[in-house]
């Protein structure tokens, strides 16, 4: 099916869901907003500012103060963020069995990639401004003491070598909290690439000419993690890493777009494990894109 048709269907479904909020009086209707409510979700779920611990703007993840098992019951519908009863933005609840992409912000319904204290708001369309970190949302979060900046990432170099290419990137802790991050030098390339698709290169017409061919290695058991995989990154500090890749064919000289997503841990970390002393395990992912020149 044409991608533009899929986008149109997704928009229609989202608008239909919003209309259902206005007119339906069943259980999945979002009620009239309480001025103290920050988040409403179809199914009658409401959460106040005081229910949240913080929001990581780099990964677009909201952290609750406690586990909310009811989130496992989410199905289709919508969610809305509010400030004093006024809408900040609306998004979709998107079941995993849907074969289309939602347009705009969405929450993937169960099974979650995270446990039910971390709620990730996703957005697969690179539309600016992104309402998840729009000026109104950021100001509301800051005013309630919920805003944390998480990680920043930059692509430094992609260098052709005699036996492949070396990809170098830098991770910076932009947060006020010290963070524990996945360290590819500690995990090894295989385990690190279990959590990320790695580096991809595209031509100017968006043709993919390289993607990571490092064989991923799952943890044993698959839903486990180890503190030995992590390095502590102090607030304001940076760490630089280099990953070696071996393309199946040499890259032609020219200009390319490099895409890389730095990963964090996901479902394995329980709420009471999130903080290790004063440092927080960083969850989620953060993406970098850069144009590079291959001589």
Which pair of tokens denotes residue 230?
A: 């992590």
Average pLDDT over residues 35-50: 93
160 and 39 inside one domain: no
Do both 29 and 126 map to the same domain? yes
CATH of the domain at 249: 2.60.40.2360
d(CA 211, CA 228): 28
Q: What is the layout of strands, in order, in the sheet containing 238-245?
A: 151-161, 164-173, 238-245
Residues 59 and 183 in one domain: no
- Residue 203: pLDDT band with limits 50, 70, 90: very high
Q: What is the pLDDT of residues 207-236, one digit of tens each?
A: 999 999 999 999 999 989 999 999 999 999
Domain span at residue 133?
3-147
Closest CA to 282 of 220, 219, 231: 231
pLDDT value, residue 32: 64
| The pLDDT of residue 113 | 86
21 shares its domain with 139: yes
pLDDT confidence of residue 34: 78
Tracing tokens 């969405």 back to the chain, one arrives at: 106
How high is the pLDDT of residue 37? 95
For residues 173 and 103, membership in a common domain is answered with: no
Whether 172 and 207 map to the same domain: the answer is yes
The alpha-helical segments, DSSP class H, found in the chain are 3-23, 135-143, 184-187, 189-192
Which of 147, 168, 186 represents a domain boundary (last residue)? 147
Contact 125, 94 (CB under 8 A): no
Share of the chain above pLDDT 70, in %: 89
pLDDT at 7: 38
What backbone torsions phi and psi does residue 180 show, to the nearest 5 degrees? -105, 120
> How far is Cα 185 from Cα 242, in angstroms, rounded to an integer?
9
Same domain, 141 and 172: no
pLDDT of 93-141, one tens digit each? Answer: 988 777 777 889 999 987 778 999 999 999 987 777 899 999 999 999 9
Same domain, 249 and 224: yes
Pair (59, 16) in one structural domain: yes
Q: For residues 255 and 275, what is the distance between their CA atoms, to the nearest angstrom?
A: 42
Between 4-8, 42-46, 261-265, the lowest mean confidence (pLDDT) is in: 4-8
Alpha-carbon span 137 to 119, nearest angstrom: 16
Domain count, the chain: 2
Cα(74)–Cα(226) distance, integer angstroms: 30
Same domain, 79 and 181: no
Query: Percentages helix, strand, coil for the chain, rounded to the nearest 5?
Result: 20, 40, 45
How many other CB atoms sit within 10 Å of the CB of residue 105? Answer: 22
Boundary-marking domain end, from 96, 127, 147: 147
Note whether 194 and 257 are same-domain residues: yes
The residue with tokens 């963070």 is 179
CA distance 286 to 279: 19
Q: Which of 104, 120, 147 is the last residue of a domain?
A: 147
């Amino acid at each position: 099916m044409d991608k533009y048709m899929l986008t149109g269907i997704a928009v229609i479904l989202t608008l239909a869901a919003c209309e259902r909020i206005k007119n339906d009086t069943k259980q999945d209707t979002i009620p009239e907003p309480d001025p103290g409510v920050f988040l409403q979700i179809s199914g009658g779920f409401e959460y106040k500012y005081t229910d949240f611990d913080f929001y990581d703007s780099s990964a677009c993840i909201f952290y609750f103060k406690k586990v909310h098992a009811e989130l496992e019951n989410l199905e289709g519908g919508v969610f809305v963020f509010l400030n004093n009863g006024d809408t900040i933005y609306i998004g979709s609840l998107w079941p995993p069995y849907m074969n289309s992409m939602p347009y705009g912000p969405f929450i993937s319904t169960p099974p979650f990639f995270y446990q039910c204290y971390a709620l990730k708001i996703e957005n697969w369309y690179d539309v600016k401004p992104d309402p998840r970190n729009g000026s109104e949302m950021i100001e509301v979060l800051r005013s309630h003491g919920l805003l944390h900046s998480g990680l920043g990432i930059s692509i430094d170099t992609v260098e052709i070598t005699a036996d492949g290419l070396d990809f170098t990137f830098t991770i910076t802790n932009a947060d006020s909290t010290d963070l524990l991050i996945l360290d590819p030098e500690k995990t090894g390339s295989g385990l690190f690439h279990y959590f990320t698709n790695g580096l991809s290169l595209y031509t100017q017409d968006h043709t993919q000419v390289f993607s990571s061919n490092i064989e991923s290695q799952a943890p044993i058991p698959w839903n486990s993690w180890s503190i030995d995989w992590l390095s502590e990154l102090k607030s304001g500090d940076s760490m630089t890493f280099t990953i070696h890749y071996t393309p199946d064919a040499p890259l032609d000289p020219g200009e390319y777009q490099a895409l890389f997503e730095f990963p964090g841990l996901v479902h394995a970390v329980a709420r009471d494990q999130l903080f290790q002393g004063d440092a927080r395990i960083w969850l989620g992912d953060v993406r970098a894109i850069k144009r590079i020149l291959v001589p």
